[in-house]
Amino acid sequence: MQLHKCLSPAKLNLHLHVTGKCSHFHTLQMLNVTINFFDELCFEFLPDQYHHIDTDFVPNFQQIGKNNLISRAYAKFCQQNESMPALKVSINKHIPPGSGLGGGSSNAAQALLFFNHFFPLYSHEQLLRIALDLGSDVPFFLYGKTAVVEGIGELIKFLDLKLQNWWIVLVTPGIFLSTAEVFKKYDELIHFQHDFEAETIRSFEHDLFPLHNDLILPAISLQPLIADLLQDLKNSGANDSSMSGSGSSCFGMYDSLEKAEKASEILTKKYTSVRLAKIIS
């Protein structure tokens, strides 16, 4: 039985603006990057079986059920291939769910790319549509490049911002935040009811700082610890700090390794999950 392994990166939202609502979905404008923080996926074909997938997550987070995004991606291929072989997918899960780092979406994108490599059923455009059906972050992870992502995840514009010289200190505080609950709280706080109208794309090439995330206030209202964490990151010497996605992970950006290492040392005294990271795209 042949094994196929790949890495599945986390993402950070350096900017996240809620731009409207369309068919019950919030529309966004985001500046997304991937970082060198990975889940590890191992695909194994099972002989003499068809249309069955076994996903094994280690550790086994209770928020991840059998109808996870990898299983749903596999089902899309079974619909078009009567002889789709059975698979076992082992996921060494470093990126925690509910952390705003897109781990599940990243896993789904890697699965789609793997399935379509061995069973090329879909064009790139079709694969993007399937990715969007699975989740708004999945299309971005098919590329994994620095990009402005808009709408409900379907509009992707790549940027060459030369961000690899920045150091990231990432803190995942062990708090699970439901994306749906954060957006619900956003609506309660902002009373944002108007229909989506296209807005001018912000020029992130010249306006990286200050970092911004419209979901910070609703996330803090659900988990006040996030306010302390963002302030601790700023106090540690970050050029700026923010929250990724709908939380709960927060990060600081530092213009030197020395500053980032010093900040990491300080933050480790208070938080259990602190890591140095680099932007990889």
- Please give the positions annotated as active site: 11, 137
Pairing of strands 147-151, 25-50: antiparallel
238 and 167 in contact (C-beta within 8 Å)? Answer: no
| 37/19 Cα distance (integer angstroms) | 29
The residues that bridge with 88 in the sheet, in sequence order, are 44, 54
What are the contacts of 154-163 at 24+ separation with CB within 8 A?
154/128, 157/201, 159/31, 159/204, 159/205, 161/204, 161/205, 161/208, 163/33, 163/279
Closest CA to 100 of 178, 167, 155: 178
Residue 214 to residue 43: CA distance in whole angstroms: 37
Pairing of strands 85-92, 250-254: unpaired
| 273 in Cβ contact with 172 (< 8 Å) | yes
